[in-house]
Structure 1
């Protein structure tokens, strides 16, 4: 194996390590810290997945207490089910139609065989066999697509069960001792985790496609995707007290009377000062008739 092949092998391994280590850190961070906050450049950032889990618990408790909100909850679940079904259908098409058509086509098979010979993992150099069998790449792609489909299918299944429980909690059994709030929260967390893992699987499929362009293309795509995921998975914590104070100040400014124009104020002050200066000499010539009458 020459120097170029070693560099390609290092880039491929480094790309896989970056992707895996980021997700281990992302999903284990809430377990290491109660709030899941990180500090960067003096600002706090929260974990979107953990915040979504907490919001789901509060949401479940809200429609459990106020049964009038159950209709809104059902509409929300319906929208989520539509999204999960769309993703599951798309990944099922990729796994059941796209991959078999690629692997069973002779022209595509020849191109894949050519790419496998120059691959640092599957290609043999200096008379040696490759590190992995060429068929493993195709098997990994198919397994990832199957994993994505199962994640979205499980998310759809969980959300369907949640819809049934919401109906029970807000139906004729409302107000009785029948309550599935704990079960709904558990299913909600599992559904959110399955949906999140499904999205990560789609991203990993994109990186597999980038790998066909070479290890350098894979490394650049991994760095870019990891940066975008870190940017979208962690949002800055807004200092709500300062925001409320600023909004309160703006509301007071809007409710206060508008100040007069500064030029108008200066002209009015000059006019009033001149009027007073004209009145003072006239008042000096006016006799004090009360004192004159007293002298007489």
Structure 2
């Protein structure tokens, strides 16, 4: 295999590894939610919202402060992602000569077209992270009003709607954070397809331990919900 053909083989293979892992993760969340961190978080959100909305006037300050912390995290990620995408865009448009001079460090296809694709996918990844975190902020703000509304006290439909909005906010935040993980893989593609493929495999292993739960975690989580 020629050096220029490595990108055509290893890059799609690395992306396929990430895609297969996330397909497995989605299936696991649907079938066995308690075996994933996202599933346990959704169950916790359900219990948290129901416990707060039983008395919104008493628990309003706690709810607002907790949601404010999540909104600050989403704001930080959104600001970071749009800043990085802007910096990369300016770097590519202003310093194309630097890309060509540093191409001797890349073991793979160093054509200008491939280099442009690398930076474009990296910018696109950060833009996805920005949009997801902005959408997460939108849902967190909406939940902030719902959990403190006195007229929603004891209304199951209003509580379920608030839980659904909170889970959507958490899901968008998770996708935005996941886009940051993928951006690290795409960043290593700048240095060649081999580092990118190796990072894809290592990233899947790391994400597996971050996304799944063990029996001890599930047991402690179940006991904490029982105590409530």
Q: Which residue of structure 2 lines up, in the alignment, with residue 101 of structure 1? A: 91
> Is the alpha carbon distance of 1:164 and 1:36 closer, same or farther for their aligned partners in structure 2, counting shifts above 3 Å?
closer
8 Å CA contact 1:115–1:212 kept in 2: the answer is: no
**Is the radius of gyration larger for structure 1 or structure 2?**
1
**In the TM superposition, what is the alpha-carbon distance from 1:105 to its structure 2 partner?**
2.0
Q: Which residue of structure 2 lines up, in the alignment, with residue 200 of structure 1? A: 178
Q: Which residue of structure 1 lines up, in the alignment, with residue 129 of structure 2? A: 148
2:80 equivalent to 1:90: yes
Matches within 5 A, 1:59-138: 59-67=48-56, 68-111=58-101, 118-119=108-109, 123=111, 134-138=115-119
8 Å CA contact 1:151–1:195 kept in 2: the answer is: yes
> Is the alpha carbon distance of 1:7 and 1:87 closer, same or farther for their aligned partners in structure 2, counting shifts above 3 Å?
closer
Distance 2:200 2:53 in 1: 43
State which drifts further: 151-160 or 62-71. Answer: 62-71
2:38 equivalent to 1:49: yes
**In the TM superposition, what is the alpha-carbon distance from 1:222 to its structure 2 partner?**
1.3
Report 1 or 2 for greater relative contact order, CA contacts < 8 Å, sequence distance ≥ 6.
2
For these two proteins, the number of residue pairs brought into alignment is 219
Note the residue ranges of structure 2 that are not aligned, 5 or more in a row. Answer: 224-228
Note the residue ranges of structure 1 that are not aligned, 5 or more in a row. Answer: 38-45, 124-129, 245-296
Please tell me the root mean square deviation across aligned C-alpha atoms, in Å. Answer: 2.9
Of Structure 1 and Structure 2, which has the larger fraction of its residues in helix?
2
- 2:148 aligned residue (167, 173, 188): 167
- 1:219 aligned residue (194, 197, 203): 197
Q: Which residue of structure 1 lines up, in the alignment, with residue 13 of structure 2? A: 14
> Is the alpha carbon distance of 1:5 and 1:230 closer, same or farther for their aligned partners in structure 2, counting shifts above 3 Å?
same
Q: Which residue of structure 1 lines up, in the alignment, with residue 162 of structure 2? A: 184
